[in-house]
Protein backbone atom coordinates (compact mmCIF):
# COMPACT_ATOMS: atom_id res chain seq x y z
CA UNK A 1 0.00 0.00 0.00
CA UNK A 2 1.33 3.43 -0.97
CA UNK A 3 1.11 5.90 1.89
CA UNK A 4 1.50 9.65 1.90
CA UNK A 5 4.63 10.97 3.58
CA UNK A 6 4.35 13.19 6.62
CA UNK A 7 4.99 16.88 5.89
CA UNK A 8 8.67 17.77 5.80
CA UNK A 9 8.85 19.78 9.03
CA UNK A 10 6.81 17.19 10.94
CA UNK A 11 9.13 14.45 9.72
CA UNK A 12 12.33 16.39 10.39
CA UNK A 13 11.64 18.01 13.76
CA UNK A 14 9.09 15.47 15.09
CA UNK A 15 7.26 17.97 17.31
CA UNK A 16 3.70 19.15 16.71
CA UNK A 17 2.47 22.02 18.88
CA UNK A 18 -1.26 21.88 19.53
CA UNK A 19 -2.59 25.45 19.48
CA UNK A 20 -5.46 25.74 21.98
CA UNK A 21 -8.86 27.02 20.92
CA UNK A 22 -8.63 29.80 23.49
CA UNK A 23 -6.29 32.44 22.14
CA UNK A 24 -6.22 35.98 23.50
CA UNK A 25 -2.98 37.35 22.04
CA UNK A 26 -1.56 37.70 18.56
CA UNK A 27 -0.08 34.33 17.64
CA UNK A 28 2.86 35.75 15.74
CA UNK A 29 5.10 36.14 18.81
CA UNK A 30 4.62 32.64 20.29
CA UNK A 31 4.84 30.96 16.89
CA UNK A 32 8.03 32.87 16.10
CA UNK A 33 9.58 31.73 19.38
CA UNK A 34 8.62 28.12 18.73
CA UNK A 35 9.91 28.18 15.17
CA UNK A 36 13.23 29.63 16.36
CA UNK A 37 13.51 26.80 18.92
CA UNK A 38 12.96 23.89 16.49
CA UNK A 39 9.20 23.50 16.85
CA UNK A 40 8.21 23.61 13.19
CA UNK A 41 4.72 22.07 13.08
CA UNK A 42 1.50 23.50 14.47
CA UNK A 43 -2.03 22.15 14.65
CA UNK A 44 -5.03 24.48 14.86
CA UNK A 45 -8.51 23.50 16.03
CA UNK A 46 -11.52 23.87 13.80
CA UNK A 47 -12.40 27.11 15.61
CA UNK A 48 -9.04 28.55 14.61
CA UNK A 49 -9.14 27.96 10.85
CA UNK A 50 -8.90 31.70 10.16
CA UNK A 51 -5.85 31.96 12.43
CA UNK A 52 -4.26 29.09 10.51
CA UNK A 53 -4.62 31.07 7.28
CA UNK A 54 -3.08 34.20 8.76
CA UNK A 55 -0.22 32.42 10.51
CA UNK A 56 0.68 30.26 7.53
CA UNK A 57 0.93 33.34 5.30
CA UNK A 58 3.84 34.52 7.45
CA UNK A 59 5.50 31.26 8.51
CA UNK A 60 4.55 28.93 5.67
CA UNK A 61 8.12 28.57 4.41
CA UNK A 62 9.42 27.71 7.90
CA UNK A 63 6.79 25.41 9.36
CA UNK A 64 3.88 23.06 8.65
CA UNK A 65 0.34 23.99 9.67
CA UNK A 66 -2.35 21.38 10.21
CA UNK A 67 -5.79 20.98 11.74
CA UNK A 68 -7.03 18.91 14.68
CA UNK A 69 -10.46 18.14 16.08
CA UNK A 70 -12.16 17.17 12.81
CA UNK A 71 -15.39 15.27 13.43
CA UNK A 72 -17.41 15.47 10.22
CA UNK A 73 -16.99 15.30 6.48
CA UNK A 74 -17.70 19.03 6.38
CA UNK A 75 -14.77 19.57 8.77
CA UNK A 76 -12.56 17.59 6.40
CA UNK A 77 -13.62 19.76 3.48
CA UNK A 78 -12.93 22.93 5.47
CA UNK A 79 -9.46 21.61 6.28
CA UNK A 80 -8.85 20.84 2.60
CA UNK A 81 -10.00 24.32 1.60
CA UNK A 82 -7.73 25.80 4.29
CA UNK A 83 -4.72 24.05 2.76
CA UNK A 84 -3.93 22.02 5.87
CA UNK A 85 -0.54 20.31 5.68
CA UNK A 86 -1.81 17.46 7.88
CA UNK A 87 -4.90 16.50 9.88
CA UNK A 88 -5.50 15.01 13.31
CA UNK A 89 -9.15 13.90 13.32
CA UNK A 90 -11.07 13.66 16.59
CA UNK A 91 -12.66 10.37 15.60
CA UNK A 92 -12.13 7.58 13.11
CA UNK A 93 -14.48 8.03 10.18
CA UNK A 94 -13.58 6.06 7.06
CA UNK A 95 -15.21 8.46 4.60
CA UNK A 96 -13.56 11.48 6.19
CA UNK A 97 -10.13 9.84 6.19
CA UNK A 98 -10.45 8.68 2.59
CA UNK A 99 -11.44 12.17 1.42
CA UNK A 100 -8.49 13.77 3.23
CA UNK A 101 -5.99 11.23 1.94
CA UNK A 102 -7.32 11.49 -1.61
CA UNK A 103 -6.85 15.26 -1.33
CA UNK A 104 -3.19 14.59 -0.58
CA UNK A 105 -3.36 15.58 3.10
CA UNK A 106 -1.42 13.28 5.46
CA UNK A 107 -4.04 12.29 8.02
CA UNK A 108 -3.45 10.55 11.33
CA UNK A 109 -6.66 8.84 12.51
CA UNK A 110 -7.09 8.41 16.27
CA UNK A 111 -6.75 5.09 18.07
CA UNK A 112 -5.75 3.81 21.48
CA UNK A 113 -5.82 0.03 21.87
CA UNK A 114 -3.59 -2.20 19.72
CA UNK A 115 -6.63 -3.42 17.77
CA UNK A 116 -7.76 0.15 17.09
CA UNK A 117 -4.22 1.07 16.04
CA UNK A 118 -4.14 -1.78 13.51
CA UNK A 119 -7.53 -0.76 12.09
CA UNK A 120 -6.44 2.87 11.77
CA UNK A 121 -3.20 1.82 10.05
CA UNK A 122 -5.21 -0.27 7.59
CA UNK A 123 -6.88 2.94 6.37
CA UNK A 124 -3.65 3.80 4.55
CA UNK A 125 -2.71 6.66 6.85
CA UNK A 126 0.97 7.65 7.12
CA UNK A 127 0.76 7.37 10.92
CA UNK A 128 -1.77 6.66 13.66
CA UNK A 129 -2.58 9.26 16.29
CA UNK A 130 -2.45 7.39 19.62
CA UNK A 131 -4.73 9.34 21.92
CA UNK A 132 -5.20 9.94 24.80
CA UNK A 133 -1.66 8.62 25.09
CA UNK A 134 -1.23 9.35 28.80
CA UNK A 135 -3.96 6.98 30.01
CA UNK A 136 -2.06 3.79 29.16
CA UNK A 137 0.98 4.38 31.34
CA UNK A 138 4.71 4.47 30.81
CA UNK A 139 5.04 0.87 29.59
CA UNK A 140 2.51 1.25 26.79
CA UNK A 141 4.90 2.58 24.11
CA UNK A 142 7.04 -0.56 24.35
CA UNK A 143 3.97 -2.79 24.57
CA UNK A 144 2.41 -1.22 21.51
CA UNK A 145 5.70 -1.54 19.65
CA UNK A 146 5.70 -5.28 20.31
CA UNK A 147 2.04 -5.71 19.31
CA UNK A 148 2.07 -3.38 16.28
CA UNK A 149 5.72 -3.30 15.16
CA UNK A 150 5.01 -2.09 11.62
CA UNK A 151 2.81 0.85 12.60
CA UNK A 152 4.09 4.42 12.68
CA UNK A 153 2.46 6.35 15.53
CA UNK A 154 2.08 9.93 16.72
CA UNK A 155 1.20 9.98 20.43
CA UNK A 156 -0.96 12.83 21.69
CA UNK A 157 -2.43 13.84 25.01
CA UNK A 158 -0.89 14.80 28.34
CA UNK A 159 2.71 14.07 27.35
CA UNK A 160 5.61 15.42 29.40
CA UNK A 161 9.34 15.00 29.05
CA UNK A 162 9.44 11.50 30.57
CA UNK A 163 6.61 10.14 28.45
CA UNK A 164 8.02 11.70 25.27
CA UNK A 165 11.29 9.88 25.93
CA UNK A 166 9.41 6.59 26.42
CA UNK A 167 7.56 6.95 23.13
CA UNK A 168 10.67 7.89 21.19
CA UNK A 169 12.78 5.14 22.72
CA UNK A 170 10.16 2.56 21.75
CA UNK A 171 11.13 3.29 18.18
CA UNK A 172 7.96 3.84 16.15
CA UNK A 173 6.92 7.41 17.05
CA UNK A 174 7.16 9.46 13.86
CA UNK A 175 6.43 12.60 15.90
CA UNK A 176 4.79 13.66 19.16
CA UNK A 177 1.95 16.11 19.74
CA UNK A 178 2.43 18.50 22.65
CA UNK A 179 -0.23 20.69 24.19
CA UNK A 180 -0.08 22.38 27.60
CA UNK A 181 3.36 20.98 28.43
CA UNK A 182 4.79 22.93 25.51
CA UNK A 183 2.45 25.79 24.62
CA UNK A 184 1.35 26.48 28.19
CA UNK A 185 -0.10 29.99 28.56
CA UNK A 186 1.83 31.45 25.62
CA UNK A 187 -1.34 32.05 23.60
CA UNK A 188 -3.08 33.86 26.46
CA UNK A 189 -0.37 36.30 27.48
CA UNK A 190 2.15 33.98 29.14
CA UNK A 191 5.91 34.45 29.22
CA UNK A 192 7.76 34.08 25.94
CA UNK A 193 10.97 33.35 27.85
CA UNK A 194 9.33 30.39 29.59
CA UNK A 195 7.91 29.21 26.27
CA UNK A 196 11.41 29.32 24.80
CA UNK A 197 12.74 27.18 27.66
CA UNK A 198 10.00 24.60 27.19
CA UNK A 199 10.68 24.43 23.47
CA UNK A 200 14.39 23.93 24.07
CA UNK A 201 13.70 21.14 26.55
CA UNK A 202 11.49 19.15 24.19
CA UNK A 203 13.61 19.83 21.11
CA UNK A 204 16.64 18.51 22.97
CA UNK A 205 14.72 15.37 23.94
CA UNK A 206 13.76 14.71 20.33
CA UNK A 207 17.30 15.38 19.07
Domain that holds residue 63: 8-206
Output the domain CATH number for residue 198. 3.20.20.70
Does residue 46 lie within any of the structural domains? yes
Domain count, the chain: 1
Task: Give 106-155 pLDDT, tens digit per residue.
Answer: 999 999 999 999 999 999 999 999 999 999 888 999 999 999 999 999 99
> Which residues are 130's β-sheet partners?
111, 155
Res 72 pLDDT > 90: yes
The closest alpha carbon to 55, from 29, 37, 28, belongs to 28
Report which DSSP code applies to 135: G
- Gyration radius of the chain over CA positions: 16
- pLDDT number for residue 172: 84
> Is 126 inside a domain boundary?
yes
Q: Which residues pair with residue 109 across a beta bridge?
A: none
**Domain assignment present for 143:** yes
Residue 2 counted as domain residue:
no
Q: pTM for the full model? A: 0.96
Amino acid sequence: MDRLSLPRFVAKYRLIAIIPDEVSVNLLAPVEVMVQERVRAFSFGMKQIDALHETREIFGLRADFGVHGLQTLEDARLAIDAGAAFCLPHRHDDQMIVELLEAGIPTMPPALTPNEVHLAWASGAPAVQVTPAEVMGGNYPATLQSLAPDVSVVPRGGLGGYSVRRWLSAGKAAAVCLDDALVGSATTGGSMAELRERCQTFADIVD
